[in-house]
Amino acid sequence: MCYIVDVNNLQKEIYQTKKLYRDVFNKVKEALDSQIASLKSSSLCNHCKQDCDIDFNKIDIFQEFPKGCRYRFWQESVLDLLENRISKDILDKVSLIEKRRQCFSCKMCSSCCKFATSEYSYDELKKRAQDGDRFSKDFVSVFVPYKNVDEAREIYPEYVDMLEDTFGNLSGIYFYHCPKLSDDGLCSDYENRPSICRDFPNNPLVVLPPKCSFNDWKQEVEITSLMLNAMIDIIGFYKDKLKNLI
Ligand code: SF4
Ligand code: SF4
């Protein structure tokens, strides 16, 4: 499921600035909180006679309860819900999104070879690659930077305009191209192309070139992918907090 988790900062920023991700996040959190509340109702205090003033109506899932308290059982059931049922549901949905991708095929427009973006400069990417980051390693094995935004704009004005419209400006976005693309628009090292080329696009939340034939797939699964991404963020936070309490 890593392709959902690994949504890169640039893509996430786009959704966040568009408010869409925040709205989806709030809805997902609301739905999860309601599941947590219904588990609370099935974990009522059994009056264990401990001297406590815990009020059912006021307790919070992240509260610290005394050993043996019935509400610890509530926290355990929530952890089980997150670690098992919800995580399995996420995996199933990610798998459906991946399967759906196979219904679309690359039209070999070569846009993704002519034009790639990153929030990292070339030096930063090389440093990340040296430090063991797999994606950066693959990326610098094929892509080299455009001299400047103007050079990138000459190659793909619609894409640069789209990014400019989305962000308001292009500061902090770096543009790259692959020198292995031959003049006939084909890859000159097709058999040895790295996985970032073979699997592109493996994440429906990435910004795709306007000409890319996977835009239809992206549109179809985008909201579900955002929900899954939000769910992963939320359950990660809840799980860490609950594990420290139980
Ligand atoms: S290695 Fe080939 S497939 Fe990958 S970006 Fe370069 S030209 Fe495109
Ligand atoms: S941009 Fe999309 S359609 Fe064009 S070559 Fe890349 S994957 Fe294929």
Give the mean pLDDT per block of 10 residues along the chain (246 residues). 44 68 93 92 65 74 84 91 95 96 94 91 96 94 94 90 82 93 94 93 87 94 94 95 88
Residue type, 181: L
Instruction: Tell how far the Cα of 164 is from the centroid of ligand 1, in angstroms.
Output: 25
Cα Rg for the chain, rounded, in angstroms?
23
Residue type, 197: C
Query: What's the pLDDT tens digit per position in 147-168?
Result: 999 999 998 898 888 888 877 7
159, 212, 216, 217: residue to mutate for ligand 2 pocket, most atoms within 8 A of CB: 212
Q: Tell me, what's the pLDDT at 5? A: 37
Instruction: Tell how far the Cα of 196 is from the centroid of ligand 2, in angstroms.
Output: 12
Distance CA 137, CA 161 (A): 28
- Tell me the ligand closest to 202's alpha carbon: 2
Domain boundaries, the chain: 2-104+222-245, 111-212
Instruction: Tell how far the Cα of 111 is from the centroid of ligand 2, in angstroms.
Output: 6
Classify the phi-psi angles of 200: left when phi > 0, otherwise alpha if psi is within -120 to 50, otherwise beta. beta
- Tell me the ligand closest to 193's alpha carbon: 1
Contact between 107 and 213 under an 8 Å Cβ cutoff? The reply is yes
Pocket of ligand 2 (CB under 6 A): 106-112, 200, 209, 212-214
Query: What's the pLDDT tens digit per position in 96-145?
Result: 999 999 999 999 999 999 999 898 999 999 999 999 999 999 999 999 99
Instruction: Tell how far the Cα of 104 is from the centroid of ligand 2, in angstroms.
Output: 11
